[in-house]
Amino acid sequence: MAFDYDVIILGSGPAGFSCAMQSTKFDKKVLIVEENDSHLGGTWLNKGTVPSKALKEAAALIQKFHSQFGDEKGRKPFEKFRMEDLLQYKRTILDSKNKKVKTDLIKNEVETARGRGVLLDKNTVEVTNQLGTSTKYTAKNILISTGSSPKPSKQIDVGHSHILDYDSILDLTHIPRRLTIIGSGIIAFEYATIFSALGTRITLLSDTDDLLPFLDKEIKEILLKILKKKNIQIIKEAEIDGVGKNDLRTCMEVGFRVKNSDRLQIIETDQVLHIGGKSPNTKKLWKKGLSVKIDSAGYIKIDENYKTSVPNIYAAGDVVGEPSSAAVSFVQGRLAACSMFDMTSDKPTVDIPYGIYSIPEIAGIGLTELKAQEMGIDVTIGRAFYENVTQADIKHETDGLLKLVFRTDNLQLLGVHIIGYHATDLIHLGQSAMANGNTIKYFIENVLNYPTYSEAYRIAAFNVFNRVYKAGVKYKKILEK
């Protein structure tokens, strides 16, 4: 049977985009179906990764300026800067990235169809545009990369005016003086530090007693100290009683009770940001009779090659569940293309790094000190505090720590954990060392530019060297090899 395309891709986010780019390298004919009629890139470019990080960079610049030069009238940043200025900064970046994506698709001869795509059968997609006109396309393979959306709250009515989610927060028309964030995940902490940098008074209500449990314990301790210094109030095990507007006091009110307490507490705030979970965009995506299996939360089930229960239909990105990030989706989309066209490709050889774009940034990969100890591994820790890194001193960004976790018996790198400026970039040097099985000697024997933040690896490595050296002769022999 002759098909219109070799692959039809539903969704132009990072998984869909990278699948399209890789497929064209195999000389395949590609069609991307995008529901949004005004832009490509999905949440990645327009509502999530790029715009939130652009806002973070603008806030970080304002915070740095304000902390170094202050204000002769003692004004807060939100009294000096307008949200419109920050949004313009964001729009400039989004326009540039959207043009780049569009240019890449045109240059690689990837065709696009605007409208909502629905799978009629395992080879046919029907696309209905904004005017209601439908067109059918066929393909040998199909990739579902439709992403996810904010999960609606049963208790809180997110009206996108006074009560916001992680989409509508990016459309604020002003910098709030007070912001209450309901949530305890990565996004909640990112926005807490972003708006704190703008002078907003932040209260974070977490329904758990352990914040960001995957973090290295020492990194978390430093984070909490930084948050305290920023006057970010964190209330743990908070059970929301209700959110509403107080017209008399012209503010929003958030009622909550701390777990195992009957006392109702009220927070007055200007805006409320609700950061709940995500829901996969799989509803009404295929006609009945097409047995694409999903789990209880609606995420598409896939095998190690990104195949769904229908052999020629693949899925990648947020629509398949955790780990959920643009970085992971890019890799998944490329590997899905390799799989569908029987092209061999090595999968990531080490753990996936995480990055938290808070102020300061946090990143990590591999085993934490505690996890290694629980596994019975004898480890040695190397630390480089930012206050001892020349480049951090030059830039007045001295809050931070780079922490290395090594096996004591052979000094192989098992984990890297960083909090501080450029953490999400710095993590990749450690990732590369882990992927290549490097030991402490890599950071000591190779030249690292000075002054740079990468110097922290060298400082931490010498810290390990000193610890092992003091441990006894049997470890000295390891260093001499």
Range name among 84-88, 309-313, 365-369 with the lowest pLDDT average: 84-88
Q: Which residues pair with 111 in a beta bridge?
A: 31
**Section 413-426 average pLDDT:** 95
pTM above the 0.75 mark? yes
Lowest mean pLDDT among 284-298, 401-415, 459-473: 459-473
Beta-carbon neighbour count of residue 54 at 10 Å? 20
Q: Averaged over 237-245, what is the pLDDT?
A: 89
Indicate the range of 218-222, 279-283, 415-419 predicted with least confidence: 279-283
Domain 5-150+279-340 matching CATH 3.50.50.60: the answer reads: yes
pLDDT value at 296 more than 90 = no
Taking 60 as the threshold, does the pLDDT of residue 481 lie above it? Answer: no
Q: Pick the range with the lowest mean pLDDT from 66-70, 261-265, 379-383, 404-408.
A: 66-70
Q: Give the pLDDT confidence score for residue 473 in this predicted structure.
A: 44
Residue 239, pLDDT > 70, answer: yes
Distance CA 364, CA 352 (A): 9
- Residues 295, 184 contacting (CB under 8 angstroms): no
For domain 163-276, give the fold.
Answer: FAD/NAD(P)-binding domain (3.50.50)
Concatenated DSSP letters of 167-235: TGGGG-SS--SEEEEE--SHHHHHHHHHHHHTT-EEEEE-SSSSSSTTS-HHHHHHHHHHHHHTT-EEE
Of 415, 423, 418, 382, which Cα lies nearest the Cα of 402? Answer: 418
Q: Where does residue 173 fall: left (phi above 0), alpha (psi -120 to 50 degrees), or beta otherwise? A: alpha
Q: For residues 412 and 1, which has the higher predicted lDDT (pLDDT)?
A: 412
Alpha-carbon distance of 73 to 76, in angstroms, equals 9
**Residue from 81, 22, 92, 23 nearest 54 by CA:** 92
Q: Same CATH fold, 163-276 and 5-150+279-340?
A: yes
Question: Of 19-23, 74-78, 361-365, which range is least confident?
Answer: 74-78
Per-position b or e across 328-343, b if 16+ CB within 10 A of its CB: bbbbbbbbbbbbbbee
Question: Residues 16-62: pLDDT tens digits?
Answer: 999 999 999 999 999 999 988 777 877 777 776 777 887 888 788 87
Across the chain, mean pLDDT equals: 87
- The residue among 160 and 370 whose pLDDT is bigger is 370
The pLDDT of residue 386 is 94
Residue 83: which pLDDT band, with cuts at 50, 70 and 90? confident
* Gap between the Cα atoms of 356 and 214, Å rounded: 12
Sorted by sequence, the CB contacts under 8 Å of residue 415 that are 6+ apart come out as: 216, 364, 365, 366, 367, 368, 369, 371, 372, 404, 405, 434
Mean pLDDT value of segment 95-110: 87
What's the maximum distance between 2 C-alpha atoms anywhere in the chain? Answer: 78
- Rounded average pLDDT over 144-160: 80
Banded pLDDT at 466 (limits 50, 70, 90): confident
Which listed CATH number (1.20.120.530, 3.10.129.10, 3.30.470.20, 3.30.390.30) goes with 354-472?
Answer: 3.30.390.30
pLDDT at 154: 72
Rounded-to-integer distance, Cα 475 and Cα 471, Å: 7
| Helix (H), strand (E) counts: the chain | 14, 22
Instruction: Please tell me the predicted confidence (pLDDT) of residue 67.
Output: 67
Count Cα atoms within 13 angstroms, Cβ side, for 373: 7
Give the integer Cα–Cα distance in Å for 456 and 390. 9
What 409-412 contacts at long range (C-beta under 8 Å, 24+ apart), as own/partner pairs, is 409/378, 409/478, 410/439, 410/478, 411/380, 411/439, 411/440, 411/441, 411/464, 411/468, 411/478, 411/479, 412/437, 412/438, 412/439
Strands 134-144 and 313-315: parallel
Calculate the CA dihedral of residues 97, 98, 101, 105 and round it to 10 degrees: -160
87: pLDDT confidence band, cut at 50, 70 and 90? confident
The rounded distance, in Å, linking the Cα atoms of 167 and 60 is 20
User: What span, in angstroms and rounded, lies between the C-alpha atoms of 342 and 260?
Assistant: 56
- Lowest pLDDT segment from 152-156, 227-231, 312-316, 455-459: 152-156
Average pLDDT over residues 384-403: 92
- What ranges do the domains of the chain cover? 5-150+279-340, 163-276, 354-472
Phi-psi region of 250 (alpha: psi -120 to 50; beta: other; left: phi over 0): left
Length of the chain: 481
Give CA–CA dist 50/43, Å, rounded: 9
| Average pLDDT of the segment spanning 97-120 | 90
How far apart (Å, rounded) are the C-alpha atoms in residues 15 and 144?
A: 9
